[in-house]
Amino acid sequence: MIFSEFDLDDAEGVLLAHSLRLEGRKLAKGKKLTVDDLALLAASGLRKITGAKLEEGDVGEHDAALALADRLMGVNLECGPALTGRCNLIAVQAGLAVIDAEKLSRLNRVDEAVTVASLSPFEVVEAGQIVATVKIIPFAIQKSVLDTCLAVGNPSIIRVLPFLPMRAGVIATQLPGLPEAVVRSTFEVSRLRIEALGGQVADEIQVPHEVGALSRAIRKMAESDLDLLLISGASATLDRRDVVPSALIHAGGAIDHFGMPVDPGNLLLLGRLGKLPVIDMPGCGRSARLNGLDLLLRRFFAGVPVTADDVMNMGAGGLLKDLGCRPMPRRVEDAFAPAPRTPRVAAIVLAAGRSLRMKGSNKLLARLEGEAMVRRVVKSAQASKAQHVVVVTGHQEDEVRAVLQDLGVSLVSNPRFAEGLSTSLKAGLHALPRDIDAALILLGDMPLVTPWQIDRLIGAFDPEEGRAIIVPTLKGKRGNPILWAKRFFAQMLGVEGDVGARHLVGENMNQVFEVEMDDEAVLTDIDKPEDLGAIVPSPR
């Protein structure tokens, strides 16, 4: 192919390189110039034109694109028309786009003039959706290049596999304190997830979170005509020796792989009982949001075998946390919805107490390394990843505010501080911005808590993974501060008297996640004068 600037006298049959609009008439890019076209160009004062002239052995862009698309047309695909050197491969039915990324890359390395772009491997597609597009960059390519592409390409590179009408069983385990509503929701979300892929839930069983009971339930399920078994543990599996994998082994099954490089979904376990695939769902399996469980189910329902290597290869593209997708096909308008933002966590410092056991002095104003205790706590909150800091004042309000006035935090007055801790908690919650997703409740008399420890609690917050209440611990003993998801604010506002919201931890154990700390800061508060002399400040 000759690409050059041509004299009009020698330009008949040349393919126009750039669109032109002359005297109300448009000559489109790629148009093969005729005698009339050349006369129009000459009348417009042009003497030369840029374009391309095909030579012997060249294949035009449309013919080349159509030939390669036809070669790549795998199962359940059809070719669209070839236009402007482009030809699309379109799904003729819904299913899973199975793309061999390695072979596709090899094809794209044949020549820079030939490109094939596809969806990401294992995306869910609908009938009529474009799965891949072939684009020839110049107006033509050499036949030898096309022949090489046709030899490298084959229909196995790009396919759409329909979802199979699989029958699944679901087992949910239960621990004391786990609300029945959580179990019902787990079954409901599992049904939605399975039905979205064209399957059905054939059986559901609820059993105690014990190896024996779960093992018997697994064997019972295996006797049914199932294609897949899902298990939702009341407590997330943390080790191959935990309850769910132990029950699977006890039932005669095997573990293929534990853990996956997909977030959310890290704690998924893949196993089998005979030929029956068994999936121990991660905590995020209770949510309808896209997670690692969906990536695995798509393959199973499309009849694609899943091995441990397949799971370990899911890391590239495995970060799903900021995607707003759901496992079922999205409506068109949903595709333009903004992705969920990173959760916004606020810190509430309770600094309104009367310090009754301090023999007349206000412990919050006591000096620790030359700095008021409450100021030290507030500065730790400010230095953390908390995005907003509220301080609730009450007793000796003017003095407390005086040591904080230059820090730029939100100061909230609690005139009812004498009625107890619950009133300060309510004042702090009412003062939070509307877009806050969680609140960390810090006590003004715990000056050893560091920004690093606060950040560990904030980093653990993930309601989709069942981590909606984050509690610090030391050697198993729970301490403070505690982080609460916004969903609990209404219950916290209902607390009365001189108590906080700690009782809600016990009532919502399925949403509690404990973060083990390495020192006693989260257990150390100052109540009496002698407590001040006994503490050793942590490095800030």
Of 336, 362, 387, which closes a domain? 336
Same domain, 112 and 198: no
**328 contacts 342 by C-beta, under 8 angstroms:** no
Instruction: Find, among 109, 97, 101, 89, the residue nearest to 149 by Cα.
Output: 109
Same domain, 31 and 111: no
Give the separation between CA 167 and CA 172, rounded to whole angstroms: 17
297: domain CATH number?
Answer: 3.40.980.10
Query: Exposed, middle or buried: residue 395 (CB in 10 Å: 0-12, 13-18, 19+)?
Result: middle
Structural domain total, the chain: 4
Beta-strand ranges (E) seen in 311-356 are 345-351
425: domain CATH number?
Answer: 3.90.550.10
Global pTM? 0.66
Please name the residue that has the structure tokens 């385990």.
Answer: 173
- Take residue 302 and report the two structure tokens written for it: 């499309």
**Domain membership flag for residue 540:** no
CA 263 to chain centre: 6
Give the separation between CA 238 and CA 265, rounded to whole angstroms: 12
List, as one string, the DSSP characters of 29-70.
Answer: TT-B--HHHHHHHHHTT--EEEEEE--TTEEEHHHHHHHHHH
Query: Exposed, middle or buried: residue 429 (CB in 10 Å: 0-12, 13-18, 19+)?
Result: buried
CA angle 395–400–404, rounded 5-degree value:
150
DSSP H helices, 197-238, are: 211-222
Same domain, 37 and 119: no
Same domain, 244 and 286: yes
Rg (CA), the chain: 33
Q: Count how many Cα atoms sit within 13 Å of the Cα of residue 312 in the half-sphere of its side chain.
A: 6
**Domain membership flag for residue 154:** yes
Q: How many residues does the chain have?
A: 540
Could you tell me which residues come within 8 angstroms of residue 159 by beta carbon, excluding any fewer than 6 positions away?
A: 74, 75, 76, 77, 97, 98, 99
121: domain CATH number?
Answer: 3.90.1170.30
8: domain CATH number?
Answer: 3.90.105.10
Give the separation between CA 518 and CA 503, rounded to whole angstroms: 25
**290 contacts 323 by C-beta, under 8 angstroms:** yes
Per-residue pLDDT of the chain (540 residues; tens, 9 = 90+): 888 889 888 888 888 888 888 776 778 788 888 888 888 888 888 888 888 888 888 999 999 999 999 999 999 999 988 887 899 999 999 999 999 999 999 999 999 999 999 999 999 999 999 999 999 999 999 999 999 999 999 999 999 999 999 999 999 999 987 788 888 989 999 999 999 999 999 999 999 999 999 999 999 999 999 999 999 999 889 999 999 999 999 999 999 999 999 999 999 999 999 999 999 999 888 888 899 999 999 999 999 999 999 999 999 989 986 554 444 444 444 444 444 457 899 999 999 988 776 666 788 998 888 899 999 999 999 999 999 999 999 999 999 999 999 999 999 999 999 998 999 999 999 999 999 999 999 999 999 999 999 999 998 898 877 789 999 999 888 999 999 999 999 999 998 888 888 888 888 887 888 888 988 999 998 877 767 766 655 555
**Domain membership flag for residue 539:** no
Look up the domain containing 33 and give its range.
Answer: 2-53
CA angle 151–154–160, rounded 5-degree value:
165
